[in-house]
Amino acid sequence: MGSRIILFAIFSVLAIASSSSVNAATAKSPISSPAPAPAPEYVNLTHLFSFAGPYKIFLGYLESTKVLDTFQNQANDTTEGITIFAPNDAAFSKLKNPSLANLTQDQLRSVCLYHALAHYYTLADFQKLSQSGPVTTFAGGQYSLNFTDNSGTVLIDSGWSKTKISSSVSATDRAAVYEVNKVLLPEAIFGTDIPPTSAPAPAPTPETAPTADSPAADGGSKSAPASSTKPSSSFKISSLSALTHLVFAVAIGGFLFL
Ligand SMILES: *[C@@H]1O[C@H](CO)[C@@H](O)[C@H](O)[C@H]1NC(C)=O
Ligand SMILES: *[C@@H]1O[C@H](CO)[C@@H](O)[C@H](O)[C@H]1NC(C)=O
Ligand SMILES: *[C@@H]1O[C@H](CO)[C@@H](O)[C@H](O)[C@H]1NC(C)=O
Ligand SMILES: *[C@@H]1O[C@H](CO)[C@@H](O)[C@H](O)[C@H]1NC(C)=O
């Protein structure tokens, strides 16, 4: 008798757990209803870069070079989608030598395009990408990046810039935006004459005045903590594993009873 109750308890917990994980999985794509007005599937990149974090300087460059339209079109109108690496404002402030100061408009445009891949990649996809050798960016041709997957941390190497994906800013159906702590400088523009050992870089340099690099007048708004938007999936994963633990605990409790 008692064991039946326990079995029932186990089954109901299992049922709750599985139904809630199904909910989590389906929550993303709204159930197709005959409603005439579809929710906007596209991401508004201007909005995202204005409000998601301190990406004002990056946004300024994207706007002044019109690359923003290119990216938005790619996100809107292609099934390939887009992956964007957004340097935060601090990344531009750190940029001293070389800097973007003397670049022509064409070169600036290439640097902006260099911060995107013409395909939507999830974080997990980078493991495969890391085995495929240099990956051509949106800038095309010799503008490539090398990716390394270091047990879940995605390292990015442009030759000049070695950085990593520090957070996932947004991932809709066709646009993935990841934050990086450095501006990606392509060898195709800055050459291969990379000074050796820029290694002991991460000394906590106090942020000084905003550099002249910023095209935006208000580019200097310094906000100290690089706000890292946590990907909501990590929450899902942790709450799921909590459920698993609970199920496990109940099962063991049942065993002890029998
Ligand atoms: C995108 O967001 C910006 C900033 O919030 C807004 O000004 C603009 O109208 C939006 N564009 C579209 C197409 O919704
Ligand atoms: C992207 O799609 C939105 C919604 O349809 C539209 O308002 C916006 O103008 C489009 N932007 C581009 C660059 O195609
Ligand atoms: C930009 O060009 C000026 C004049 O040609 C030069 O003095 C300066 O060092 C250059 N700056 C950078 C960052 O290359
Ligand atoms: C990327 O890796 C290849 C070797 O796989 C190397 O030849 C190339 O120089 C690297 N490029 C960058 C930008 O680090």
**H helices within 52-104, ranges in order?**
56-64, 67-77, 89-94
- Mean pLDDT throughout 100-116? 96
If you average pLDDT over residues 61-76, what whole number do you get?
96
Confidence of residue 6 (pLDDT cuts 50, 70, 90): very low
Decide whether any atom of ligand 3 lies within 6 Å of the 101 Cβ.
Answer: yes
**pLDDT: which is higher, 205 or 53:** 53
Please report which ligand is nearest the Cα atom of 69.
Answer: 2
Highest mean pLDDT among 16-20, 26-30, 34-38, 185-189: 185-189
- pTM here is 0.67
Centre of ligand 2 to C-alpha 76, Å, is 6
Could you write out the DSSP letters of every residue in 171-211?
E-SSEEEEEESS---BHHHH-S-PPS---S----PPP-SPP
Q: Whose CA is nearest to atom 3 of ligand 3?
A: 102
pLDDT at 238: 42
pLDDT digits (tens, 9 = 90+) for 129-168: 999 899 999 999 999 999 999 888 999 999 999 999 999 9
Q: Read off the pLDDT of residues 187-237 as tens digits, 9 standing for 90 and up.
A: 999 998 888 755 545 555 455 444 445 444 443 343 434 444 444 443 334
**Distance of CA 47 from the midpoint of ligand 2 (Å):** 12
Confidence at 186, pLDDT banded by 50, 70, 90: very high
Please give the average per-residue pLDDT across 98-115, as a whole number.
Answer: 95
Question: Which residues does ligand 1 sit against, CB inside 6 Å?
Answer: 44, 46-47, 50
* Predicted local confidence at residue 29, as pLDDT: 44
- Would you say residue 179 has pLDDT above 80? yes
Cα 81 to middle of ligand 2, angstroms: 14
Of all residues in the chain, the percent with pLDDT exceeding 70 is 60
Edge-to-edge strand ranges of the sheet holding 116-117: 116-117, 82-87, 175-180, 162-171, 153-157, 144-150, 135-136
What does pLDDT average to over the chain?
Answer: 74
Q: Model confidence over 74-96: pLDDT tens digits?
A: 999 889 999 999 999 999 999 98
* Whole-number Å distance between alpha carbons of 194 and 162: 12
144-150 and 135-136 strand pairing: antiparallel
Taking residues 103-124, report their average pLDDT.
96
Distance of alpha carbon 152 from alpha carbon 148, whole angstroms: 9
Ligand 4 site-directed mutation target among 85, 146, 187, most atoms within 8 Å of CB: 146
pLDDT at site 187: 94
pLDDT score at 16: 45
Looking at residue 42, its pLDDT comes to 76
Task: Please give the pLDDT value at position 53.
Answer: 85
Number of helices (H) and strands (E) in the chain: give both, helices first.
9, 7
pLDDT on residue 40: 53
